[in-house]
Structure 1
Amino acid sequence: MRQTLKSLDAELLFTETYKKYKDASKSIRELECLKVQLPTMLRPMKDNDLLAGRIEYNTIGFHHIVYGEGTSDEIDRCGYCYDLGRVKEKLNSSNIDEEYERLVEDMCDFWETENTNYKARQAFSATMKYAAPTDDWVNESAIIHPLYRIAEFQVDHEKLIQVGIPGLRKEINNGLKKAKKYGRNKDFYTGLNGALDLILYAWDYYIKDINRQLKAADITVDKAEELHEIKNTISNIKNNKPATFREALQLIWIFNIVAGITDFNRMDVVLGDLYVNDRNNDIITEEKAIQLLTSLFKLIDQLYGRNSRVILGGVGRWNENNADEFALIAMEATKRAGGMFPQTSLRYYEGMNSCLMDKALDLLGTGLTFPVLYNDDVNVPGVEKAFKVTREVAEDYSFFGCGEFILGHRSLGTPNVIINMPKIVEVTLNNGVDLLTGDVIGLELGNLNDFKTFEDFFAAYDKQIKFFIEKAAKIQEQIYKTLNEEGSFLLQSMLMSDCLSKGKAALDGGIQHLGGTIETYGNITTSDSLAAIKEAIYDKKTFSAEYLLEMLNDNFKGFEKERRYLLNISKYGNDEAQADRMAARVHEHICNITKKQNQNTCLDSFLVVEINNSANTTLGKFTAATADGRLCRTPLSNANGPVQGMDTQGITALINSLTQMRCDIHAGIAQNFKFSKKLFNKERNKLKQLLYTYFDLGGSQCNISVVNKEDLEKAMLEPEKYQNIVVRVGGYTARFVDLEQGVQKDIIGRTIY
């Protein structure tokens, strides 16, 4: 193992190693590459760190998710990853000779066709490529776009704490003995053993780092004492399972950064007992535990960003009282950390300790957007039915990324395809044609004037949806297949059920439940548009089909009066039966078609997620004017919420609309609520009853932002004065001033209650 000497030495050494082991088994190749990769990624502790563990991901390497240094920007690459943009940045920022530059150029040429993304794309069939003609969803128009990733492994941290590194080593060695005895794949276990050595290498790195810091001439007594405590913690867990809260926290953090794991799942269940035991026995104070968690959350905010989740609360916790005590200090640490991440989330259920909700609302009232609230009384039975699992398994559900549901360490559920729903309506209206490019991108089934009834039109829309969803499922399946061919994901598979017992990697049949999901965007823009078409063209015959098509083609230029008519047609979010029925129909239609795709693939489940982020704004730029009155290239609706500003009848009407959506046919649905500071903080009892009513009626989840519209508008004009405003974009949080202007306008346009 060697340290980086020049800016791209790490990448050159990795490439050299990959070539050397290119024809070895995937487990051995991955291990050898990780052995040269990890030492170049570890970084020293900083002054205020109370836990050892910092990392910087390389521009080329074997990763599960890649992040840009110092940012929360996710690069959708997985397996053997190649980021040409960052390679060039490194190259341009270095003073190197021509020979070194030539080596780097050769390396880039090699990875151009050797990276896993490229291989996955090349494996697509002709019809898959037709359905998804471009990978660049940020800059190019299409109905569906593939994403090449495993969005998150939710590993079994509880097992990690229960057995420690020695226990994992023992289980791996037992598996290796059986593999040798029965002629099974011993390379997988050999790779796992080597991967465990990487964890130990990280321990040794940080012990040396601490020893170096202890020699500093200006070190204070308090700092030296803290460093000795960290060093002792690391030394204790090298050869033993964790015995204290601090040891468990340190082990989880080091494992996660080495493995590239960004989520912490049900942290209160994992750490609650150790925390309460240590506190009751004077091993740790409540204040010190909060300080440790605050340090962890600051590290997450700096290194991982928006994809990191800490989940608290929920039914099915076997240590509920201890878990509740941990949940309270975790929320306090969220407040003190003051960052945007991790995405602390609270699973609510009837009968839950009321102190948890009170603490959650206190945090939200300060302007934080955490914790995100989930309703177990709806979600647990929903997961049970949608995933077809037992109640016990469903109770251990969690979520990742922007809010996609997953079965903890038992499943994968990566969304590897996104779909622009209003674009489906657009091509159905225009014989498969993309109005913004003139290209045929959908099925050629006729124009609006070819459909005699609304049900004829909807039947054509149904055919378009089925075509693209079928291809989306095949794309999901192929990406998993390619990723499995490329690597075993050793560090991640190690703590996924049942990989060790089966002797198989997660994507190789080791995991209990292999699922996939598809991100849908603009669902309510779609349903409002369909409702408008039904009323204006077919029911009341206000316009002819040709006249509506002309309006949409011209982006309503010269048709202002007609546009106002369309805008005034019943809209979702106002407790109006016509619009709500269409929204529920669109929701159930796409969900039911999607979940049937497990019959045509190797996937145990394939489900819709309506989690939404800023993609509704991005995809809106490639979508023509829509029949609900929306103008060309403007944002689509976000998640399952109403079109921006169209909920005009108050919060109770909105809640009645939101709860019309079935929650047992999808894998995650997000709802954004913007509340004024006055309502949220000065009328707290009313606010609590409002939220409880929403949950009682069947609300699945809510993302809450407590802001004033005036402050948001001022922040657009003078961003330097409003750096502290954070908002929920959809499935993630961001500083308002850091958002692209179109996203800012989208958020301002949402109704504040």
Structure 2
Amino acid sequence: MVEQSLRIQSLIDHLYSEDPRVEAERAVLITESYKETENQPMVIRRAKALEKILENMNLVIRPDELIVGNLTTAPRGTQIFPEFSNQWLEDEFDRIEKRTGDVFRISEEVKRDLSEAFKYWGGRTTNELATELMAPETLDAMQAGVFTVGNYYFNGVGHISVDYRKVLQVGLKGIREEAQEALQSLDYGDPESISKSHFLEALIISVNAVCKYAKRLADIADQAANETHGAKRKEELQQIARNCRRVPEYPAEGFYEALQSFWIIQAVIQIESNGHSISPMRFDQYIYPFYQKDVEKGSMTEVEAQELLDCLWVKFNDVNKIRDEASTKAFGGYPMFQNLIVGGQTTKGMDATNPLSFACLEASAHTKLPQPSLSIRIWNKTPESLLNKAGEVSRLGLGVPAYYSDEVIIPALENRGISLEDARDYGIIGCVEPQVGGKTEGWHDAAFFNIPKVLEITLNNGYNDGKRIGLQTGKIEDFKNYQELEDAFRKQMKYFVKLLINADNSVDIAHMERAPLPFLSAMVDNCIVEGKTVQEGGAKYNFTGPQGVGIANAGDSLMAIKQIVFEDKEMTLSELKQVLDSNFGREESKPASSANIDLNHLDVANLTSESLVDLLKGLLNQETQPVQTPTTVDTAKDGENIRQLLINRVPKFGNDIDDIDYLVRDVALIYCEEVQRYRNPRGGTFQPGLYPVSANVSCGLDTKASADGRYAGTPLADGVSPTSGRDQNGPTAALNSVAKLDHHIASNGTLLNQKFHPSALAGEEGLSNLSALVRGYFDQKGMHVQFNVISREILKKAQKNPEKYKNLVVRVAGYSAHFVSLDKTIQEDIIARTELKF
């Protein structure tokens, strides 16, 4: 094991010396550029905007850095991207520093600069265009919390991995020459040649701008070297300058140059657009030849190589973005989801493990930081030594690595039309989303679809808070048996999935028209050949991947209704609904009505002619939900007893009980089979996923009490995990339940969280148990699993005394974050997860 160098802790201390800050520099520069390029093709405007930003932004080399390239002046700062959305930020200026999670500092000067820049963008953002494109019914469903497409609705898309290998092998110079050749070979009699030429010209502008950015870094490194008195640091800065004068414009010649080239690409992608989940993916494969050349052949020691790698790991954590306050409850902890994966197999089906695979795991152990989101691919020929090394890192309590099964993911991708060779080369984007690097525009995290909310609306005959937003599939008193209820639920699911598709495609078109990304597209296969950006469908593979959330809650609820209402006849469905409406007796139950006008309290004496006209119009347009027949349940008295009946009498998902496990499987399939029927504007298909990031918390806020015994407003189940506390038969039983789901159809990813007390993984026996657990789960065709190895007591102490636990990193969902930076609702969700022991 290579020890951590003293430099690494110094870099970490500098990075986390203060709260991150909002900066206005990029917003001001892109606004100036757009004003200068009015009436030019949008893709050209985007390229020139990137050029202006890279030529004028403030560049810094942080103390002791060996890998350079900043996105902001302040460590972990955030730039602003007004072309996607901006009104929400201005509305929240005075709350940014007072948030309960993801706090940012913002000066009055920055507020003024941003407000001035935002004046230009009214009517020009992707967010505004997407809103105009959506159907009214879609907007109603979003407002009700049935689904959210906020990820790309307010921000850039991201969720991609470019062809880093190509950049390292041919440099940006080689890519530029390829574009120039394609431009020269265009047939100007072809009507598409006009748009193709614009894209290729924009690509060349962008690539040249990045080469100049690297040389600017070289210049400031030289300047710093001239001003430095220490001989060692002077030599380091001179080497940094030499690196940046060569890469990424030219092919990398060694390990150090490869890391520097990689980082400049990684940084500029996120300067061009604020889409997160820009994922390195199979880093140990495309960087290994450079590692092998230098380390194994003796021109660099293993210790020197590990220090450079550790420096890069710290640098990943310098990337940040600001989200609206509501989104911090779904994406808490400043996450950027830069997923880096090791292991697995080669494109020819051989084991891909190499020394760099181990060094990457070591880097995460050394730095103990949230980024990168480290993952590992497992198949039947994965060496036990690599799995044991992963286990050693897991029991550090960082929530990494996440474990993925080649045996499920490769055929799942083939089923979506991806070739076997490409499928074998998959990596993970963001949280848990499989993708072929450098060839795919996957649009993962395209939406979060609240499945328990749809069941709630079904029980209300298409109404939500008195307003009809769904289909009228039947009054609850008219359902004669469970099957009729399930049929109604299926109809509502199909209806709302169609609205979800409308929302996603609207946002997709908005990005295509207003935010093409020529630099990103330069490094994605087929874009140059097709003469299209990835936003226009230029990638080899095109998908849209929305996520279903809360399958355990929906399945457990349906099982409770089936058993308690229709089989055991403990109560009627109307009586159960009355209990749910009262939040199990915690709130007064009121009949729902969609009327916006309260006729019982209408002030007739003061009614004017104008208001009378408005009243008549309202009465003509409104639809009133019929008042339900009164029931005999005393909710205040019986509510909690009924809740306990629902929890304890009915089997729950996660305990290896076939009846409920297969019902949850069916709920997931209803969603997945409906989603995959649709196509997107880029010529690709929709593919479903089953993971929430941490949107299970925010989706729970929009969902009333459910028949699984869940209180209103509390979190939904996390991913495909059982509901917290309901899996009582141990970790193996929970895995057996989750493995019964059809993970192959959920090709956009499934997420399973497990939490272990540290004692469960102690010693060699603990590592052996963890290895057996992972392999056993994957043998049953589970797709993914990740572990929090930390005690509930430590989490509670960190919540009470955050200053003492500033460095505590935990697994949130498909990512890790500093626990104390999370909103309290997310902290509580993590604490509540079942703590397992073998």
TM-score (ref. length: structure 1): 0.91
Q: Report the CA distance shift for 1:78/1:264 in structure 2 as closer, same or farther (over 3 A).
A: farther
Partner-residue secondary structure (3-state), 2:473: coil
| Matching of residue 162 in structure 1 with residue 152 in structure 2 | no
Instruction: Give deviations 1:239-286, integer Å, cap 9, x for gaps.
Output: 531111211111111112112283112111101112112113222211
User: Within 5 A, what are the aligned runs for 1:614-629?
Assistant: 614-629=694-709
Q: How many residues align?
A: 720
Find the partner of 2:359 among 296, 309, 329.
329
C-alpha separation in 1, matches of 2:189 and 2:259: 38
Q: Is the CA contact 1:404–1:611 (under 8 Å) kept in the aligned structure 2? A: no
Q: Is the CA contact 1:380–1:391 (under 8 Å) kept in the aligned structure 2? A: yes
| Matching of residue 522 in structure 1 with residue 582 in structure 2 | no
Moved more, 18-27 or 438-447: 438-447
Aligned-residue sequence identity (percent) comes to 27
Moved more, 525-534 or 198-207: 198-207
Find the partner of 2:223 among 212, 233, 254.
212
Offset of 1:7 from its aligned partner?
7.5
Moved more, 515-524 or 737-746: 737-746
C-alpha separation in 1, matches of 2:105 and 2:304: 43
Counterpart residue number, 2:101: none
Q: Report the CA distance shift for 1:11/1:601 in structure 2 as closer, same or farther (over 3 A).
A: closer
| Matching of residue 121 in structure 1 with residue 131 in structure 2 | yes
C-alpha separation in 2, matches of 1:293 and 1:114: 41
C-alpha separation in 2, matches of 1:291 and 1:337: 11
User: Within 5 A, what are the aligned runs for 1:644-683?
Assistant: 644-666=724-746, 667-682=748-763, 683=765
Moved more, 458-467 or 500-509: 500-509
Instruction: Give deviations 1:449-478, integer Å, cap 9, x for gaps.
Output: 221121111111111111111121222222
User: Within 5 A, what are the aligned runs for 1:184-333?
Assistant: 184=193, 185-217=196-228, 219-237=229-247, 240-260=250-270, 262-304=278-320, 305-317=335-347, 324-333=354-363
Q: Report the CA distance shift for 1:117/1:433 in structure 2 as closer, same or farther (over 3 A).
A: same
Instruction: Give deviations 1:355-409, integer Å, cap 9, x for gaps.
Output: 2111111111122211111111121112222x13222221122221221222322
Q: Report the CA distance shift for 1:388/1:570 in structure 2 as closer, same or farther (over 3 A).
A: same
Offset of 1:343 from its aligned partner?
0.4
Partner-residue secondary structure (3-state), 2:503: helix
Instruction: Give deviations 1:7-48, integer Å, cap 9, x for gaps.
Output: 756534432321332321122111222222223445311112
Q: Is the CA contact 2:451–2:551 (under 8 Å) kept in the aligned structure 1? A: yes
Counterpart residue number, 2:42: 26
Q: Report the CA distance shift for 1:79/1:595 in structure 2 as closer, same or farther (over 3 A).
A: farther
C-alpha separation in 2, matches of 1:591 and 1:439: 27
Counterpart residue number, 2:834: 751
User: Within 5 A, what are the aligned runs for 1:143-154?
Assistant: 143-147=146-150, 148=152, 149-154=156-161
User: Within 5 A, what are the aligned runs for 1:20-59?
Assistant: 20-56=36-72
Offset of 1:604 from its aligned partner?
2.1
Q: Is the CA contact 1:272–1:319 (under 8 Å) kept in the aligned structure 2? A: no
User: Within 5 A, what are the aligned runs for 1:625-644?
Assistant: 625-644=705-724
Offset of 1:716 from its aligned partner?
2.2
Find the partner of 1:177 among 184, 188, 209.
184
Q: Is the CA contact 1:78–1:483 (under 8 Å) kept in the aligned structure 2? A: no
Q: Report the CA distance shift for 1:404/1:321 in structure 2 as closer, same or farther (over 3 A).
A: closer
| Matching of residue 406 in structure 1 with residue 435 in structure 2 | yes
Q: Is the CA contact 1:52–1:206 (under 8 Å) kept in the aligned structure 2? A: yes
Q: Is the CA contact 2:347–2:421 (under 8 Å) kept in the aligned structure 1? A: no
| Matching of residue 70 in structure 1 with residue 73 in structure 2 | no
Instruction: Give deviations 1:712-733, integer Å, cap 9, x for gaps.
Output: 2222222222333322111111
Partner-residue secondary structure (3-state), 1:368: coil
Q: Report the CA distance shift for 1:432/1:40 in structure 2 as closer, same or farther (over 3 A).
A: farther
| Matching of residue 358 in structure 1 with residue 388 in structure 2 | yes
Moved more, 261-270 or 668-677: 261-270
C-alpha separation in 2, matches of 1:376 and 1:270: 19
Find the partner of 2:691 among 592, 611, 620.
611
Instruction: Give deviations 1:521-557, integer Å, cap 9, x for gaps.
Output: 1111111001111111112211111110111011111
Q: Is the CA contact 1:675–1:752 (under 8 Å) kept in the aligned structure 2? A: yes
Partner-residue secondary structure (3-state), 2:810: strand
| Matching of residue 466 in structure 1 with residue 523 in structure 2 | no
Q: Report the CA distance shift for 1:13/1:712 in structure 2 as closer, same or farther (over 3 A).
A: closer
Counterpart residue number, 2:798: 715
Instruction: Give deviations 1:132-188, integer Å, cap 9, x for gaps.
Output: 34xxxxxxx421222324132210111111211221121011011112666513121
C-alpha separation in 2, matches of 1:718 and 1:602: 49
| Matching of residue 733 in structure 1 with residue 796 in structure 2 | no
Q: Report the CA distance shift for 1:604/1:319 in structure 2 as closer, same or farther (over 3 A).
A: closer
Counterpart residue number, 1:372: 402
Instruction: Give deviations 1:208-250, integer Å, cap 9, x for gaps.
Output: 1112211225x31111111122122222336531111211111
Instruction: Give deviations 1:584-624, integer Å, cap 9, x for gaps.
Output: 111111111111123x8655221222222221112211211
Offset of 1:519 from its aligned partner?
1.8
Counterpart residue number, 2:665: 584
What residue identity is the alignment partner of 1:412? E
Instruction: Give deviations 1:609-661, integer Å, cap 9, x for gaps.
Output: 22222211122112111001111111111101111100011122112101101
C-alpha separation in 1, matches of 2:663 and 2:349: 43
Unpaired segments ≥5 residues, structure 2: 1-21, 95-103, 271-276, 321-334, 586-636
C-alpha separation in 1, matches of 2:106 and 2:696: 35
Q: Is the CA contact 1:272–1:323 (under 8 Å) kept in the aligned structure 2? A: no
Offset of 1:485 from its aligned partner?
1.1
Find the partner of 1:397 among 399, 410, 426.
426
Partner-residue secondary structure (3-state), 1:517: strand
Counterpart residue number, 1:3: none
What residue identity is the alignment partner of 1:409? G
Unpaired segments ≥5 residues, structure 1: 1-5, 58-67, 134-140
Q: Report the CA distance shift for 1:502/1:630 in structure 2 as closer, same or farther (over 3 A).
A: same
Offset of 1:88 from its aligned partner?
5.0
C-alpha separation in 1, matches of 2:66 and 2:502: 46
Counterpart residue number, 1:541: 569
What residue identity is the alignment partner of 1:521? V
C-alpha separation in 2, matches of 1:92 and 1:698: 48
Q: Is the CA contact 1:8–1:91 (under 8 Å) kept in the aligned structure 2? A: no
Q: Is the CA contact 1:679–1:687 (under 8 Å) kept in the aligned structure 2? A: no
User: Within 5 A, what are the aligned runs for 1:592-611?
Assistant: 592-598=673-679, 603-611=683-691
What residue identity is the alignment partner of 2:107? S
Offset of 1:318 from its aligned partner?
5.9
Counterpart residue number, 2:615: none
C-alpha separation in 2, matches of 1:282 and 1:354: 28
Offset of 1:416 from its aligned partner?
2.2
- Aligned-residue Cα RMSD (Å) equals 2.6
Q: Report the CA distance shift for 1:226/1:34 in structure 2 as closer, same or farther (over 3 A).
A: same
| Matching of residue 340 in structure 1 with residue 381 in structure 2 | no
Q: Report the CA distance shift for 1:166/1:710 in structure 2 as closer, same or farther (over 3 A).
A: same
Counterpart residue number, 2:86: 82
C-alpha separation in 2, matches of 1:78 and 1:610: 31
Counterpart residue number, 1:573: 654
C-alpha separation in 2, matches of 1:381 and 1:158: 24
Q: Is the CA contact 2:67–2:260 (under 8 Å) kept in the aligned structure 1? A: yes
Q: Is the CA contact 2:348–2:421 (under 8 Å) kept in the aligned structure 1? A: no
Partner-residue secondary structure (3-state), 1:694: helix
Q: Is the CA contact 2:341–2:377 (under 8 Å) kept in the aligned structure 1? A: yes
Partner-residue secondary structure (3-state), 1:638: coil
Offset of 1:509 from its aligned partner?
3.0
Q: Report the CA distance shift for 1:322/1:614 in structure 2 as closer, same or farther (over 3 A).
A: closer
